């Protein structure tokens, strides 16, 4: 069965928002109330303030299948990739409850290579960021998923600059020249699979609950930010900056400033073994001074050993031993004195 994946999340009409002036991010909340919410994206992730966890493995289906048809579209805000495929890519597992189906992918970038990503890691912005958008399968499509708090998940990948071109993006970059103007589309001759466009390490990632980063800023997104960056050359990233927005101006930047974290907790999935501590259980007694805690809880049966004598016992025993020795010396002197007296008499 052929699955049509042309579904695109329409965040709003092209004239409704932008990234500068009266249409810029600071004015989005005037028309879209959700943009002033308390759980907005993007955020700055402090790697020292995350909670390390061992989540179930993410399950990727159809990521390695080349679509039958893939189109690249400049929608005036970014460049969007939609697909038609025999196999619908899906993701599940990890922090997700249920199966999420591919909708589209798009990009965010900046004026130069020092910034452009939306989420930040330890106050560091990357030159570009990829968002692969999925909707929860039970909600049928991306539009209706916006009405549910767990409606969407976005797989986010950061880019770093490499001295060499990334060959997996060769046709992609060439097609950008065909969609410079707003609302232009171009098909791929050799459609890439999702696996071709993303990083290889899909185990280490940050995840948190947030929102769309463009109007209507709906707080319905489970964000999964992968730690390993994708490498592109400066020239490849520069090609995105040649696109034009709705007004025909260069789309040199299209990222939203970071939003307050608020009461949210960012999780970091790792392959390290994380021990959960039950605070309700009674803690074992602290080992006495001098015990090597590295050897506690070895799991080996205890072996009875002879305890060393208490040094205090030695202290208590010392005075009695000295007294006994003095008594013996006095007796010996008394005997010698008696012998001396007897010899004087005779």
Residue pLDDT, tens place only, 14-54: 358 999 999 999 999 999 999 999 999 999 999 999 999 99
- Position 16 scores a pLDDT of 81
Q: Which two tokens stand for residue 265?
A: 């907790």
CA distance 67 to 192: 7
Q: Which two tokens stand for residue 49?
A: 């303030």
Q: Which two tokens stand for residue 229?
A: 């960056």
- Position 179 scores a pLDDT of 97
Closest CA to 41 of 180, 246, 267, 207: 207
- For CA atoms 323, 328, 334, 340, the dihedral sign is negative
pTM of the model: 0.77
The 8-class DSSP code of residue 124 comes to B
77 is catalytic: yes
CA distance 261 to 95: 18
CA distance 260 to 30: 18
Q: Which of 39, 77, 108, 131 is catalytic?
A: 77
CA distance 336 to 154: 104
Question: What is the full per-residue pLDDT of the chain (346 aa) written as tens digits?
Answer: 333 333 445 444 435 899 999 999 999 999 999 999 999 999 999 999 999 999 999 999 999 999 999 999 999 999 999 999 999 999 999 999 999 999 999 999 999 999 999 999 999 999 999 999 999 999 999 999 999 999 999 999 999 999 999 999 999 999 999 999 999 999 999 999 999 999 999 999 999 999 999 999 999 999 999 999 999 999 999 999 999 999 999 999 999 999 999 999 999 999 988 765 444 444 444 444 443 433 334 344 444 444 444 444 444 444 445 555 656 665 566 666 565 555 555 5
CA distance 102 to 118: 21
Share of the chain residues as helix, strand and coil, in percent rounded to the nearest 5:
25, 25, 50
Locus of tokens 């997996």: 168
CA distance 219 to 303: 59
CATH dotted code for 37-269: 3.10.200.10
CA distance 305 to 303: 6
173 neighbors 247 (Cβ within 8 angstroms)? no
- Position 124 scores a pLDDT of 97
């Amino acid at each position: 069965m052929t699955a049509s994946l042309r579904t695109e999340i329409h965040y709003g009409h092209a004239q409704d928002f932008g990234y500068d002036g009266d249409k810029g991010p600071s004015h989005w909340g005037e028309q879209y109330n959700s943009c002033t919410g308390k759980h907005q994206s993007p955020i700055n992730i402090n790697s020292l303030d995350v909670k390390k966890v061992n989540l179930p493995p993410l399950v990727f289906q159809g990521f390695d299948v080349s679509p039958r048809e893939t189109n690249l579209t400049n929608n005036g805000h970014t460049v969007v990739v939609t697909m038609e495929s025999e196999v619908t890519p899906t993701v599940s597992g990890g922090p997700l409850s249920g199966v999420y189906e591919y909708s589209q992918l798009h990009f965010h970038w900046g004026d130069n290579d020092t910034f452009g990503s939306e989420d930040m890691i330890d106050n560091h912005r990357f030159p570009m960021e990829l968002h692969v958008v999925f909707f929860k399968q039970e909600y049928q499509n991306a539009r209706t998923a916006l009405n549910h708090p767990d409606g969407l998940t976005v797989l986010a990948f950061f880019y770093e600059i490499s001295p060499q071109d990334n060959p997996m993006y060769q046709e992609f970059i060439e097609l950008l020249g065909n969609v410079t103007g707003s609302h232009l589309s171009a098909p791929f001759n050799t459609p890439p699979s999702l696996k071709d466009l993303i990083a290889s390490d899909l185990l280490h990632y940050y995840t948190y609950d947030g929102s769309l980063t463009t109007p209507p800023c709906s707080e319905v997104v489970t964000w999964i930010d992968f730690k390993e960056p994708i490498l592109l050359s400066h020239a490849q990233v520069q090609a995105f900056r040649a696109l034009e927005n709705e007004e025909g101006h260069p789309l040199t930047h299209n990222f939203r400033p970071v939003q307050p974290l608020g009461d949210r907790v960012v999780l970091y999935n790792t392959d390290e073994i994380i021990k959960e501590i039950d605070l309700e259980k009674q803690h074992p007694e602290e080992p006495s001074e001098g015990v090597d805690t590295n050897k506690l809880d070895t799991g080996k049966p205890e072996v009875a050993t002879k305890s060393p004598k208490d040094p205090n016992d030695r202290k208590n025993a010392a005075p009695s031993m000295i007294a006994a020795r003095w008594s013996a010396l006095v007796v010996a002197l008394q005997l010698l004195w008696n012998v001396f007296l007897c010899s004087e008499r005779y």
